[in-house]
Amino acid sequence: MKPLVGISCCTKSFGPYAMTNHAASDTYVCAVDQVVGAVPVLLPANGDAADIDTLLARLDGIILTGSRSNVQPGLYGGPPHAEGTPEDARRDAVTLRLIRAAVAAGVPVLAICRGMQELNVALGGSLHQRLQDLPGRIDHSTPLHPDARVRIGKAHSVRIVPGGWLQRVARADDIGVNSLHNQGIDRLAPGLLTEATAPDGTIEAVRLPGSRALTVGVQWHPEYDFLSDAVSRGIFAEFGAVVRGRIGSVMLAAD
């Protein structure tokens, strides 16, 4: 029996009548199918109606996805967003509770882009809203270009902290990553450790040491190039090994 991995959704308006839908990119589903070796389960952004305990009783891992929307600043004591900045309050109401409960229950978490920002906020950290407005920071947002190779290609390098989870996966001290975000970690949440940084000092990967299960986050998007990039594939493979190991332990305990 394969494990079940939950993939967080956003609320998005689709179709001629702009009806609200719950959506996650196919790239996450493909990564779970092809590398993690689990059954992907889309988790709706249904706000306070989400039954977190029931979800975690059935799920063997959580992937927190990227998104154009930003975490609401009131959740980390930040100033209001600039007018027109997309938010998704119903997603926030699910993911932040889900993160805290998953950590407590020992359910593995892989947090990607917005997901890493959610992980930091859920555990007590704060965010910069626009990195490109800060002195000495580079613009981490993706160019609006029709060529996917430009949009999701390697944008800058990251320096990996020696001896950590990411160095074990990457087997390198520096790697190239794509970059599709405006927000980034400001105050690192208590308990989180930095696993990698960009040349301008922006935190690009984190880990929660001492947690009951693997709890990690990356600021870039490994789901875009896991078929061609060994590090991206390795991130999902490592997560998959932990998820499959967990379900094996649960089945042995049941016997």
CA distance 35 to 103: 23
CA distance 31 to 47: 26
Identify any residues that bridge with 185 across adjacent strands, giving them in sequence order. Answer: 127
- pLDDT per residue rounded down to tens, the chain (255 residues): 899 999 999 999 888 888 999 999 999 999 999 999 999 999 999 999 999 999 999 999 999 999 989 999 999 999 999 898 899 999 999 999 999 999 999 999 999 999 999 999 999 999 999 877 778 887 777 766 666 666 777 878 999 999 999 999 999 999 999 888 889 999 999 999 999 999 999 999 999 999 999 999 999 999 999 999 999 999 999 999 999 998 766 554 544
pLDDT of residue 73: 97
Place of tokens 């891992």: 61
Question: Is 223 marked active-site?
Answer: yes
Does the reported pTM lie above 0.85? yes
Say which of 128, 140, 181, 221 is annotated catalytic: 221
pLDDT of residue 135: 83
Question: Is 221 marked active-site?
Answer: yes
Number of domains in the chain: 1
- What range does the domain containing 24 cover? 4-254
CA distance 52 to 107: 12
Residue 13 has which token pair?
């308006």
CA distance 68 to 63: 16
Amino acid identity, residue 129? Q
Say which of 118, 195, 204, 223 is annotated catalytic: 223
pLDDT of residue 147: 67
Question: Is 145 marked active-site?
Answer: no
- CATH number, domain with residue 214: 3.40.50.880
pLDDT of residue 150: 62
pLDDT of residue 69: 92
For CA atoms 131, 134, 135, 139, the dihedral sign is positive
CA dihedral 230, 98, 23, 239 (to 10 degrees): 20
Phi-psi region of 39 (alpha: psi -120 to 50; beta: other; left: phi over 0): beta
Residue 202 has which token pair?
């922006």
Say which of 9, 113, 118, 181 is annotated catalytic: 113
